[in-house]
Amino acid sequence: MSLQLGDTAPDFTLDSTAGTVRFHDYAGDHWVVFFSHPKDFTPVCTTELGAFASRKAEFDARNTKLIGLSVDSVADHHGWAKDVAEVGGAEINYPLLADPELEVARLYGMFHPKADPKVTVRSVFVIDPQKKVRLILTYPPSAGRNVDEVLRVLDSLQLTDGRKLTTPVDWQPGDDVIIAPSVSDEDARKLYPEGWRTLKPYLRLVPAPAA
C-alpha cells in the first residue's frame, strides 16, 4: 500500500553518491524533501536535479535536507552528475540514492506499473522532523516539477505546524492566513485580541505570525 499523509516515513538503507545512507539517521531532526526519478540520463530529471542543487541554500535555511532517488547504479549517478552540472550550472550537493531493485520505490509507492511498468514515477515527499509524511506529490514523466511550489508548501507546513492556522489559495510568505474552523470565535479572540477579517463566518483571516 502506498504511503498516506500522517504515516511514518519508512526507514531504509541504500547506497548513494554520498556513500551509504540510513534514511532516518540522515534526516535527524530536520525536515526532508525526498524526490524520485525514473532513471538516469533522462531530460526532465536532469533539469530538476540541477534546479534543486542550485537552490539548496533555500532548503538549508528552512532546516530541510534534500535527497533524491533513481533506479540506476551509483556509478551511473556519478556519470549523470556531470550532465546535471553542465545543464543546471550546479553540482549535485545532496545524496542521490541508487535503488536498482526498486526496494524503496515500492516501499514508498513510487512504482506505478499501470503508468509505466519499467520505471518509477516522479514523486515528492515532504517529511517532518518526527518522520511523518506531510506532503505527497506525484508527477508524470512529461511534467517537470516546480521548485518554487515545493518551497511554498514547505513554508506553509512549517508556519502552520502546531498552530490552528491554514493557508489560502496561492498563499505566499507574508500573506494573511486562515484561522482554522475548529477554533471558535471565543477562542479566536483570546488568540487574536486585535481581531480578524471575516469573509464568511467560517473564513477568518489574520496576519501571518512571525515564523
Kindly list the catalytic residues: 45
| Cβ contacts of 181 within 8 Å, gap of 6 or more | 202
Q: Which residues are CB-neighbours of 58 under 8 A, at least 6 positions away?
A: 151
Determine the Cα–Cα distance for residues 181 and 183; give it in Å rounded to an integer.
Answer: 5
Helix axes 147-160, 43-54, angle to 10 degrees: 50
Alpha carbon distance 50, 3 (integer Å): 27
Task: Compute how many other C-beta atoms are within 10 angstroms of the C-beta atom of residue 97.
Answer: 27
| Rounded-to-integer distance, Cα 196 and Cα 129, Å | 31
CA distance 2 to 109: 4
Cα end-to-end distance, the chain, whole Å: 35
Residues 6+ positions from 72 with CB-CB distance below 8 Å: 39, 40, 80, 98, 100
Measured in degrees and rounded to the nearest 5, phi and psi for residue 16 equal -150, 175
Query: C-alpha grid cell for residue 127?
Result: 517529511
